[in-house]
Amino acid sequence: MRTSNGDLRVFSGRSTAKLTGEVCRILDSDMGAARITTFPDGEIIVKIDEDVRGRDVYLICSTCEPVNDNLAELLIYLDCLRRASAGRITVVIPYFGYARQDRKDEGRVPITAKLVANLIATAGAERVLALDLHAAQIQGFFDIPVDHLSATPVFVDYFRELQAKGDLPDLCLVSPDVGNVKVAEGLAKRLNGSLAIIYKRRISGSTVETGQLIGSVEGKTVLMFDDMISTAGTICEAAKVVMERGAREVIAAATHPVLVGPAVERLQASPISRVVVCNTIPLPPRVDPLRPKLVELSIGPLLGQAIHRIHHNESVSALFKNTAGPKR
């Protein structure tokens, strides 16, 4: 995909170097030259090693673990690009940390997702390109334009290939919680599967209580999709429920492989046969024991197409077609 405007430059944070390399190959462009170093006391410094004055700049950075370090790096990077007189700065956030703190669900708590959105705009971002935000309303937290992409076309292509091989007989999409029903329904339509729903109640940040199953999964290949797998409590408990109700096989899919705490051990011990994720977050060595079950899909082509369209002032809406919609 050759870009006709030579002013395009794509830079990477340390959390997304490999993914940014894929995006640059799609765009047939070299990665922007920059150095990110850390002082002995932990302070981060960013140095841009090329002229960006007047250029259309894209910074790809996931605010994943370690969340605070990556967030500080993103903000400092944006300030550096702004002070270097970049013409337009678009921040591309494959994974948006703090997204689960998007409302006041009890007294005397912050809405940190809004705070982070304010910080990103203040630091110098003029546009945001995000992927599968934990809640669609986070788009409204930004006072700058936001393009909210969905990774579901990447998953649909993968699972359709499996269906063509006969590997997904009697497919049933199961939503592991009520908030994800819309996405599960959209995937069920695109993959010609049935739909079931599991009711859950969150007890704490790492504990969930899984309840009733609405729908039938007996003899079916169950596919459970969510925006992220964090501690894997929800997905593993849901997998036990559907297997107890007679499911033939359980496959878990999620855009963001957060995989913290006991996630790897839980997934290993669960009846889930396959865990399909995207490369929005680099997988650390601690997930190596899960590799036999793990499938990693690339969102590089999707982000490359979006950047190409934004750079040429073309509609990004075409990339929203054939998606299952955002999580509510």
Strands (DSSP E) found in 33-123: 34-38, 44-48, 56-60, 88-93
- Measured N-to-C along each axis, helices 17-27 and 300-311 cross at an angle, to the nearest 10 degrees, of 60
Give the pLDDT band of residue 5 (cuts 50, 70, 90): very low
**DSSP structure string for 261-272:** TTHHHHHHHSSE
275-297, pLDDT tens digit by residue?
999 999 999 999 999 999 999 99
39-69, pLDDT tens digit by residue?
999 999 999 999 999 999 999 999 999 999 9
Is residue 240 flagged as an active site residue?
no
Give the pLDDT band of residue 3 (cuts 50, 70, 90): very low
Give the pLDDT band of residue 2 (cuts 50, 70, 90): very low
Strands (DSSP E) found in the chain: 8-12, 34-38, 44-48, 56-60, 88-93, 127-131, 146-149, 171-175, 194-202, 208-214, 221-229, 249-257, 272-278, 294-297
Decide yes or no: CATH 3.40.50.12160 for domain 152-297: no
**313 contacts 5 by C-beta, under 8 angstroms:** no
Domain locations along the chain: 8-151+300-320, 152-297
What six digits make up the tokens of 206? 């790492």
Mean pLDDT, the chain, rounded, equals 93
pLDDT at 168 over 70: yes
Query: What pLDDT score does 234 carry?
Result: 87
Query: What pLDDT score does 74 carry?
Result: 98
What six digits make up the tokens of 20? 């940014």
- From the list 165, 189, 200, 240, the catalytic residue is 200
Q: What is the spatial distance between Cα 254 and Cα 260, in angstroms, rounded to a whole number?
A: 14
Q: Given this structure, which CATH class describes domain 8-151+300-320?
A: alpha beta
> Does 8-151+300-320 match 152-297 in CATH topology?
yes
181-236, pLDDT tens digit by residue?
889 999 999 999 999 998 766 555 555 565 689 999 999 999 999 999 999 998 99
CB atoms within 10 A of CB 76: 16
Give the pLDDT band of residue 320 (cuts 50, 70, 90): confident
